[in-house]
Amino acid sequence: MKFFIDTANVEEIREAATMGVLDGVTTNPTLLSREAGKGFYREILKEICSIVPGPVSAEVVSLDAEGMVREGKELCKIADNIIIKVPCIREGVKAIGMFKKEGIQTNATLCFSPNQGLLVAKAGATFVSPFVGRIDDVGNPGMELVRDLVTIYNNYSMATQIIVSSVRHSQHVYEAAMMGADVVTIPFKVIEQLIRHPLTDVGIEKFLADWDKVEKD
Ligand code: E4P
Chain segment 51-89, per-residue pLDDT in tens: 999 999 999 999 999 999 999 999 999 999 999 999 999
Lining ligand 1 with CB less than 6 A are: 6, 26, 28, 31, 109, 129, 131, 133-134, 165-166, 185
Model pLDDT for residues 4-54, shown as the tens digit of each residue:
999 999 999 999 999 999 999 999 999 999 999 999 999 999 999 999 999
The rounded Å distance from CA 100 to ligand 1 centre is 24
Pocket test of ligand 1: the residue of 136, 143, 165, 190 to mutate, having most ligand atoms within 8 Å of its CB, is 165
Q: What is the mean pLDDT of residues 127-143?
A: 98
Name the closest-CA residue to atom 2, ligand 1. Answer: 26
* Predicted pLDDT of residue 44: 98
Read out DSSP for the chain? Answer: -EEEEE---HHHHHHHHTTT---EEE--HHHHHTTTTS--HHHHHHHHHHH--S-EEEE---SSHHHHHHHHHHHHTT-TTEEEEEESSHHHHHHHHHHHHTT--EEEEEE-SHHHHHHHHHHT-SEEEEBHHHHHHTTS-HHHHHHHHHHHHHHTT--PEEEEBS--SHHHHHHHHHHT-SEEEE-HHHHHHHH--HHHHHHHHHHHHHHHHS---
* Percentage of the chain exceeding pLDDT 70: 100
Q: Distance between CA 55 and CA 44 in Å, rounded?
A: 15
Give the predicted TM-score (pTM) of the model: 0.96
CA atoms within 13 A on the CB side of 42: 8
* Percentage of the chain exceeding pLDDT 90: 100
Residue 130 contacts residue 164 (beta carbons within 8 Å): yes
Q: What is the mean pLDDT of residues 117-133?
A: 98
pLDDT range class, residue 109, cuts 50, 70, 90? very high
* Predicted pLDDT of residue 73: 98
Write down the mean pLDDT value for the chain.
97
Q: Which residues pair with 165 in a beta bridge?
A: 131
Name the closest-CA residue to atom 9, ligand 1. Answer: 166
What are the catalytic residues?
A: 85
Q: Distance between CA 102 and CA 123 in Å, rounded?
A: 13
Going from the N-terminus, what domains does the chain have, and what CATH number goes with each?
Answer: 2-216 (3.20.20.70)
CA 165 distance to own-chain centroid: 6
* Predicted pLDDT of residue 192: 93
Q: What is the mean pLDDT of residues 207-215?
A: 98
